Structure formats: structure tokens, C-alpha cells
């Protein structure tokens, strides 16, 4: 089964505010972009992924992610994350040919492994609508829906509970640590670095470590 992944990304200047205790305003936009670059690059290497559509209004991010091979769809200003994902899913379904399934994927998975993503998507193929919880078991890193099913995203605080309540099946494939490890805080970043991040994040993190020393 082939999937289109929809990846939402805030304007880089506004992204990753919870990393302010780890990276200053000069480095945080670069980290957010690096996370997205490594996420998209890994996703495009996954054999179950037909294509990746990034939803963003950030011009720099749009150029850099398009250069990796992602499609880019502008976001509706101030519409919010869930509206952006619904917009991206609709664009994917309108494509010709439409994908067998659409999955929303977080843009902050810098340790993402294509083989682990394939394991999650293979599990998602068994259900009309399903999701993967994050490492903290409170949020969601991936929400998947087959063709003909509404994505119906419930991202935000406590999204795992929201997706369960909406009827989506929680997936439990293992090991898929890299697909669960999103990065919101300094502790999350250290955990991702321990897993092994992609080259873009590694380069920016090296600058961060140099500054700290």
C-alpha cells in the first residue's frame, strides 16, 4: 500500500518555542528547519511512501524541502494545525492518481528511520484509520487514513486521547522508536541525538554544543 505523507510546518521563526531553554532565537529556526529536512528526507526513502506534501507558509522551508523532493502546499494563515492537515489531505486526495492512503506526520522527527516508518505504515494498512502515539504516550506523531476515510486530525495537547476518542486505532508496532521521538524540549533533543539524527540536525546540534562549551 502506498501513502502520501502530509507534513505541517509552522513559520520557522515561530517554531519550537519550547526549545528556548536549549537554543536561542538565532538557532531555533535552524533547528526547526533541520528537523523537517531530516524528517522529509527519511520519509522519501521509505518504500511505502509515494510522496510527501509539506504544508507551510515559510518561504525558506518551502524551498529547502522542495529541493529534497517534497511537494509544498501553502497553509491558510491562522487556520491552525488540524485545519492545515485537513487541507493537505484534501490536496493529496485531489491528486491524480490519488494515493491509497494519507498520513499526517510530524515535522520534528530528526531521528526518523525509513525502515521503522515502513513498519508503522504497514501496520496502518490494516485499519481504515489509525495513529501512533509519541514517546511520552500523550501525543501523536502519525495519523493515517485509507482512501475514502476522513483524516479527522485531533492534534494538540493530549492528542493521543483525542484520536482514541475519535475512533482511530492505536498502533503498537515495534521497534519504531525513531517514529515516536518527536522533539519539543531540550530533553527530547538529547533523546533524539542518542538515537542518531539525520545530517541536517547533526550539523545544527554541533553548532549548539560548540556554543555551550
Measure the CA–CA gap between 155 and 79, rounded to whole angstroms: 13
**Which residues 6+ apart lie within 8 Å of 67 measured at CB?**
none
Please enumerate, by residue number, every residue annotated as part of a binding site.
140, 156, 159
Among the listed residues 71, 75, 91, the one whose alpha carbon sits nearest the alpha carbon of residue 9: 75
For residue 99, what is the DSSP state? P
- Alpha-carbon distance values, 51 to 13, 48, 72, 107 (Å): 26, 9, 11, 15
- On the 0-12 / 13-18 / 19+ scale of CB atoms within 10 A, 40 is buried
Cα(196)–Cα(136) distance, integer angstroms: 19
Mark residue 64 as left, alpha or beta (left: phi above 0; alpha: psi -120 to 50; beta: remaining): alpha
Question: Coil, helix or strand for 8?
Answer: strand
Burial class (CB in 10 A: 0-12, 13-18, 19+), 139: buried
Binding site for phosphoenolpyruvate: residue ranges? Answer: 140, 156, 159
User: Helix, strand or coil for residue 132?
Assistant: strand
Amino acid at each position: 500500500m502506498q501513502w502520501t505523507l502530509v507534513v505541517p510546518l509552522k513559520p520557522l521563526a515561530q517554531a519550537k518555542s519550547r526549545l528556548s531553554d536549549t537554543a536561542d532565537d538565532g538557532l531555533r529556526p535552524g533547528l526547526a528547519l533541520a528537523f523537517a529536512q531530516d524528517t522529509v528526507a527519511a520519509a522519501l526513502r521509505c518504500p511505502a511512501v509515494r510522496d510527501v506534501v509539506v504544508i507551510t507558509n515559510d518561504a525558506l522551508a518551502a524551498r529547502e524541502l522542495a529541493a529534497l523532493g517534497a511537494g509544498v502546499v501553502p497553509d491558510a494563515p491562522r487556520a491552525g494545525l488540524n485545519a492545515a492537515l485537513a487541507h493537505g489531505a484534501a490536496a493529496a486526495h485531489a491528486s491524480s492518481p490519488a494515493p491509497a492512503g494519507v498520513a499526517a506526520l510530524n515535522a520534528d522527527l530528526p531521528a526518523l528511520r525509513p525502515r521503522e516508518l515502513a513498519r508503522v505504515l504497514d501496520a496502518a494498512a490494516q485499519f481504515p484509520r489509525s495513529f501512533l502515539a509519541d514517546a511520552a504516550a500523550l501525543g501523536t506523531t502519525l495519523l493515517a487514513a485509507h482512501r475514502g476515510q476522513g483524516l479527522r486530525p485531533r492534534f494538540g495537547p493530549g492528542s493521543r486521547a483525542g484520536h482514541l476518542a475519535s475512533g482511530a486505532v492505536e498502533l503498537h508496532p515495534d521497534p519504531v522508536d525513531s517514529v515516536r521521538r518527536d522533539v519539543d524540549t531540550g530533553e527530547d533533543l538529547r533523546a533524539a541525538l542518542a538515537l542518531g539524527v539525520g545530517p541536517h540536525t547533526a550539523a545544527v546540534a554541533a553548532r549548539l554544543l560548540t556554543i555551550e562549551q
